[in-house]
Structure 1
């Protein structure tokens, strides 16, 4: 076994590898960029080596610097995590040339699976299902019909040079092909100057399902069940779970055996994942097709660990050291259900724009996960596990991936795992930047998610107009009104106890009017430790709220509510169950007068192009005096490794350009002013 390993990565995955190595008695070396000098993973490791400046191209992606760090510290092996150099054949080869073990698959397997065309050829040779299709010259409609009949309907006819939705036609029958083929050719020629068309099977209600593979250098290869990763946004996974609510035991066996055959075809060992696309419209479960193989550890590996009890990082290390797997396929079971949500630094209320900045408050629902056995380790504490690599006071940098943490829950059933997600997300405190906690909580509660009817189009279909918070039901509305009134009353009581200025202590035997989100008013009345809302029945209220608390747990009747509390001028901001709510609490006589107040109109900002997020202004495409049309690109901002094109909202003339290309922008900073 190795005595010291180097982790060629950063953030939560570096922390994750260090924890397992520490439990195994292996010393660790962290490598870091200037942006990560004070990051938790650097402090956790036994040794650390600086690589270079913040950009990954000058630090984490420089293989020669990592090899130098291995030599300087005596590290015998490198775990690459995921991303960066994890699937770079040249890196694995360079390590081998320097006598350093690569904690991952053999270089030839990385190369074979990294080539999309080559990997599909290998998959076909190994007997793995691939998406049926025909890529080549299709001379006329008759050939198109013959090909479509062979593939099986529905099929998608696509212009070879197409894009942007042009030159595409879906055909459910032979008649559709006869009517549409020539049309697709014409669209391709008119739009792209190329009338070539290819045809492939159209997967109805596509689901993204992947099989976890694990092999050793002795030739043993196993599949560790499946993960469902269908809920995605812009092809980026958001929610993952194991097992899949769609996959049957027979389907699991068929998928797993095909994926093992593919791995065996390239003499694969270590952890890897075969990604498949599955037709949710096929009740037989037989319509699954190979997409690609990821020759590394996946972000979502904790859900597999939770249901199998196997530490994948430990097995990767042992396999790299030459050990055989200590279990067989018959030993791989499914115990319960696990769900992972990726907590990102992005603002779902503002179109999921990236959000960088300092974490002024960071309190996860549990303090990471311990290393002492399956229940408290791979499943977390009371079924909740947080994998993270950030800290309160630290900064989420624009140079790297926007993921803050991975929240993993385990339950005996899928609903129990989802319920634990909602409760844990309610208790997840993040301040200082935008985040998607409300959004993933809303998904966990969504009836379609609970039913298991998932496709890769879930987010686009269920949130076509963007995210505006999870809906309130009548019971939660009443509970929030009661909690808001309790908070306001506690502050009044405290004020009354300050030097007796308000006539001495107040009691809870009085009434408040609560207006939630500027809408309907609710009358809340307290009677010692009982509460009634809008004249309804009294219920027991238990909540030890102290003014200044930011997270409270209230018990109302038989219901428990975990609510994040913040003061916003005269309002209270209450965040729970996937939404933020603003409450104003008034005595009844003040509420009566407040109804006659003139509503304050927000200022008109339509004359300004504002930076929607912190980032770098990489391009400014207009000048003073220039006329612009609605929808015209005005500027380009870069944040979190993504470029964002900013467009004019309406026709106008540029009056001023306070910002210039190369400027670092704060959120809502003026880029362009229009006349």
Structure 2
């Protein structure tokens, strides 16, 4: 085994690798850019070395700088994590030439599988099912349209060197094929330095299911079952799980066998993932092979009991795999939720800023529950525009899928994040959906379930009661401190109670809430219906409230005190809940409703980012859907379009401008 390991990455994956390396007694060396001077991976490593400016191309993507650090620190091996240089064959070759071990597959395997055109040809020759498509290079958008029409719409336009959802577009007609080709090629050039594009058939109602493979240098190749990664937005995975709720044993065995055959065909070593698209009849087709550790590897670790990072290190050190295919057992179910600095209320656009509050749920491991949080941030840290917006990966395991989902829902309720926009409410909302709980997934899940965008969850009746009850009990806690409660004797025991009108949207609930001392037994009468709770834990200043009903698991709500009541966040909802004396609530119908400002005459920048291109000029008349400008944020290009026919009266920005969220870009007048 190695004595020293350099991690050529950052964020949560660098921290994850450091954790295993330290357990194995390996000295860890981190590298960092200007933006990551105070990053968590820098603090966790035994040694950390600065490698350049914040832009990845000048730091984490610089092969020469990383090799120089290896030589200066005596690093015997390099683990690339995922992203950056992890699938760059030139990096693997440069390390080998310098006598440094690359913790990953051979450079030839990376090159073969990293090019999507070449990989599909190799897969077909190895007997792996492939999607119909055009594997040759495409010269221009006219040729792209011609090829798309010959395959038949819809088609997927993809960068040959792509990954992580970048350089990918779905086209349903010729116009989308032209624009998708241009956008995919532009993103591919800026993200990978390679603008080659290919086109393949887009499988409708598809599931994205991948097989984890492991191979050593002694001819042993196995698979560790599958991961379901169908819930995606912009081709980027959001929620993953293992095993898939859809596969049967026969399909799992067939997919695993083909994945192993492909790994053998390219002389693979280390951990890798073979990705498939699966239709409703369980027909599966090869998409690509990722020659690295996957973001979602924790769910495989939890259902197999294996440490994939450790196995990668042992294979790289020349050891044999310690298990065969017959030894692989999938036990229980694991769910992973990717927590991103993205605002789901703004179509998941990136968010940046300082993490004013970052309190993940406590990690735990028992025979019936695992809660794990892989992260690379800390409270007070900065989410910058330079890198991926991931904050953490929250993972739960339980003996059954529904138990794992419920564990995830509770863990998300206990996860506190403030300071940046984030997708916690969306993740919580998905956990509550019947369709998700039934395992009826496709890669179009988000678009199908939230066709108008995400606007928060709609709570079931029982959840609604929990919010009203929590507001009422917190209201009684505050009232008692202020000496504004009533008291009575019930069977010789003192009862402390108050009456409130609790407002949720347009609904007003008359509530009587009481606590019986001693013991803290609670009674909440909501519009004549009595609910009893055994405990309620919250005090002014607390951010989390725990409510326990009889014979049920406790509910955790994020609860912040406001002037007239509380802000309550629970299971994907984010509500302002006034808690008022009944005589005050009776006056609400007389209060004027403040109209929101009319912003229809302005184009506001929807996310912090840089203007790539401005497509219109002052005086132009634009039609609905016409592109106005392109803004790049966190390595993704976002096309901003006209919402209706209008004239451009003023353009405030130019290409290259760096904008804040909601900054005015253009003004419109009627035509």
The answer, yes or no, to whether TM exceeds 0.5 is yes
How far 1:56 sits from its partner (Å)? Answer: 0.4
How far 1:320 sits from its partner (Å)? Answer: 0.5
Partner of 1:509: 497
Partner of 1:227: 227
Partner of 2:518: none
Partner of 1:265: 265
Partner of 1:545: 538
Pick from 518, 525, 531 the counterpart of residue 532 of structure 1. Answer: 525
Partner of 2:445: 458
2:151 touches 2:200 (CA, 8 Å); kept in 1?
no
1:396 touches 1:402 (CA, 8 Å); kept in 2?
yes
How far 1:355 sits from its partner (Å)? Answer: 0.8
How far 1:568 sits from its partner (Å)? Answer: 5.0
Give the SS at the match of 2:385. Answer: coil
1:531 touches 1:541 (CA, 8 Å); kept in 2?
no
Q: 1:238 to 1:135 in 2, by over 3 A?
A: closer
Q: 1:576 to 1:191 in 2, by over 3 A?
A: closer
Partner of 1:668: 662
Matched, 1:162 2:150: no
2:151 touches 2:201 (CA, 8 Å); kept in 1?
no
1:96 touches 1:102 (CA, 8 Å); kept in 2?
yes
**1-structure distance, mates of 2:2, 2:214:** 20
Pick from 310, 322, 329 the counterpart of residue 326 of structure 1. Answer: 322
Deviations along 1:175-196, one digit per CA (max 9) or x if unpaired, are xxxxxxxxxxxx979998xxxx
Q: 1:291 to 1:654 in 2, by over 3 A?
A: closer
Give the SS at the match of 2:408. Answer: helix
1:159 touches 1:167 (CA, 8 Å); kept in 2?
no
Partner of 2:42: 42
Pick from 345, 351, 362 the counterpart of residue 349 of structure 1. Answer: 345
Give the SS at the match of 1:322. Answer: coil
Q: 1:318 to 1:168 in 2, by over 3 A?
A: closer
How far 1:650 sits from its partner (Å)? Answer: 4.2
**2-structure distance, mates of 1:568, 1:164:** 59
Partner of 1:181: none
Give the SS at the match of 2:230. Answer: coil
Alignment of 1:607-622 (within 5 A): 607-621=601-615
**2-structure distance, mates of 1:297, 1:190:** 33
**2-structure distance, mates of 1:454, 1:110:** 31
Q: 1:199 to 1:484 in 2, by over 3 A?
A: closer
Give the SS at the match of 1:476. Answer: helix
1:513 touches 1:586 (CA, 8 Å); kept in 2?
yes
110-119 or 615-624: which moved more?
615-624
Give the SS at the match of 2:144. Answer: strand
Runs of 4 or more off by more than 6 Å in structure 1?
133-136, 163-168, 187-192, 198-202
1:33 touches 1:54 (CA, 8 Å); kept in 2?
yes
Q: 1:103 to 1:580 in 2, by over 3 A?
A: same
TM-score w.r.t. the length of structure 1 is 0.85
Deviations along 1:400-441, one digit per CA (max 9) or x if unpaired, are 111111011101000011111100011110101111111112
Q: 1:132 to 1:622 in 2, by over 3 A?
A: closer
Pick from 636, 640, 650 the counterpart of residue 646 of structure 1. Answer: 640
Deviations along 1:262-317, one digit per CA (max 9) or x if unpaired, are 1111211100011111122x2xx4x2221111111000100110011110000100
Partner of 1:212: 212
Alignment of 1:362-441 (within 5 A): 362-366=358-362, 375=365, 382-441=369-428
**2-structure distance, mates of 1:447, 1:536:** 27
**1-structure distance, mates of 2:289, 2:525:** 57
How far 1:661 sits from its partner (Å)? Answer: 4.7
Deviations along 1:477-510, one digit per CA (max 9) or x if unpaired, are 122112112223323333349xxxxxxxx98412
Partner of 1:585: 579
How far 1:204 sits from its partner (Å)? Answer: 5.2
**1-structure distance, mates of 2:153, 2:509:** 52
596-605 or 403-412: which moved more?
596-605
Structure 1: runs of 5 or more not aligned: 137-157, 172-186, 193-197, 370-374, 498-505
Over the residues paired in the alignment, what is the CA RMSD in angstroms?
2.9
**2-structure distance, mates of 1:656, 1:549:** 48
**2-structure distance, mates of 1:492, 1:665:** 46
Partner of 2:29: 29
**1-structure distance, mates of 2:508, 2:5:** 61
Partner of 1:101: 101
Q: 1:108 to 1:242 in 2, by over 3 A?
A: same
Alignment of 1:75-224 (within 5 A): 75-132=75-132, 161-162=144-145, 169=152, 203=203, 205-224=205-224
**1-structure distance, mates of 2:15, 2:348:** 27
Q: 1:207 to 1:651 in 2, by over 3 A?
A: closer
1:493 touches 1:507 (CA, 8 Å); kept in 2?
no
**2-structure distance, mates of 1:134, 1:2:** 44
2:130 touches 2:285 (CA, 8 Å); kept in 1?
yes
Q: 1:191 to 1:218 in 2, by over 3 A?
A: closer
Partner of 1:246: 246
1:307 touches 1:337 (CA, 8 Å); kept in 2?
yes
Give the SS at the match of 1:84. Answer: coil
1:513 touches 1:585 (CA, 8 Å); kept in 2?
yes
**2-structure distance, mates of 1:263, 1:629:** 50
Give the SS at the match of 1:231. Answer: strand
Give the SS at the match of 2:6. Answer: strand
How far 1:662 sits from its partner (Å)? Answer: 4.1
TM-score w.r.t. the length of structure 2 is 0.86
Q: 1:415 to 1:514 in 2, by over 3 A?
A: same
How far 1:100 sits from its partner (Å)? Answer: 0.3
Give the SS at the match of 2:247. Answer: coil
**2-structure distance, mates of 1:288, 1:208:** 9
Alignment of 1:285-324 (within 5 A): 285=282, 287-324=283-320
Pick from 355, 359, 362 the counterpart of residue 359 of structure 1. Answer: 355
- Structure of greater Rg: 1
How far 1:132 sits from its partner (Å)? Answer: 4.9
Give the SS at the match of 2:255. Answer: helix
**1-structure distance, mates of 2:539, 2:239:** 35
